[in-house]
Every structure is written in C-alpha cells, then in structure tokens.
Amino acid sequence: MVFVLATRNRKKVDEMKRIFKGYDIDFQTLDAFPGCPDVEEDGKTFRANALKKSRAVARYTGCPALADDSGLAVDALDGAPGVYSARYAGKNADDLKNTGKLLREMKDLEDKERAARFVCCIAVAFPDGRTRTFTGYVKGTIGRKKRGVNGFGYDPVFFPDGYNKTFAEMSAGEKDALSHRGRALKKFYRYVKSMVSA
C-alpha cells in the first residue's frame, strides 16, 4: 500500500521510513505534492492535530495519508509542553530553544518530580473519509542537562524508564524499539496487515 506522509519534518520522515524498512509499505513524502498546503496545528490534543493533517493531505493528494502529532508531557508542568512541544519557546523556536526553556522551568524540581512521557498519535485518513488513530507512549524522566547528539526535539534530556542514557545517546535502532512513535507505528502496521488479509 502507498501512504503519503503528511509532514515536512525531514527527521520525522527519516524516522518513520527507518522504522518501516523491510515492511511492505511504500511511503511518499509531500515533496511529491509541492502544492499541498501547510496545515495549522491548532487542535487541543495530539489526536485532533494528527487527524486534521491526515484528512487535509488525503483530500489534496487523493491518497491515504499518514500524519503524526507528538510531544513531551511533563507531570510537574501540568502536561506541558504537550501539543505546544514544537513551539514551546515561541512560534519560530527550534529544538535548542525549546529544550532550554524546559530545563529552565524545571531547574528547581527534585529528581522525583521530573517524571515525563513522550506521546505520539498517528492518524491515517483515506480519500473516502475513513480515519483511524493509534497512540504510543514512553515514560521516563527529564535530566538536568543535555546529553547525546542523536535524535531531535527533547531527546537529549529524556531518559526512558529503566535506562541511564537519553534518547539522544541511543542508536537509532535502540530508540526505535522504545519510542512513542515506534509503538504507535507498530499499531498502525498491525491495522494495515489486517486490512490486507481481510
């Protein structure tokens, strides 16, 4: 089956393609549809944003579209940055600024108060209007300084439970086996397999 990835985030595209390497799914990117409009992520939940993006891209391209919305939720910050993870430090913020703001806001928190989780909601939309969503989580804690150079986003400060290294210190394969996006995509793949075998 062919799915269009409803994102212009090259790192997300690379991660999704890497996770599905060897699977019988063909992903196209928005590069193949240069006129496809950007979709404003103004939903209140990860699910709402993922559905909005996948529906818009499916309508424009006429192909099944796969979108994800993901982010970091810190318990002590009432779930922030949440759906604002990519723009936590402002509309045009980058990973460095977002992570810096998070560490500043958490600087006075004790170790036991630094629990967090990464959340990913994958939405698939079909041109006929059908949709499905799949959610993945990974729990962990936020460190006090950045460690590692791999990954993106908040990876350098996130320690998944049971590990003494951040996502950014892990190899791509190690992270994929644990990550919120990997878990959501595996649920999506099971759904696709059930469609094919039905």
Q: Which of 14, 24, 31, 69 is catalytic?
A: 69
Q: CA-CA distance, 12 to 124, in Å (whole number)?
A: 16
Q: CA-CA distance, 34 to 110, in Å (whole number)?
A: 48
Distance between alpha carbon 7 and the CA centroid of its chain, in Å? Answer: 11
- Pair of tokens at residue 66: 């796969």
Q: CA-CA distance, 196 to 131, in Å (whole number)?
A: 16
Query: Which residue type is seen at 125?
Result: A
Decide if 69 is catalytic.
yes
**Residues paired with 52 in a beta bridge:** none
1: exposed, middle or buried (Cβ count in 10 Å: 0-12, 13-18, 19+) = exposed
Tell me which residue of 41, 34, 35 sits closest to 67, measured CA to CA.
41
Q: List, by residue number, the catalytic residues.
A: 69
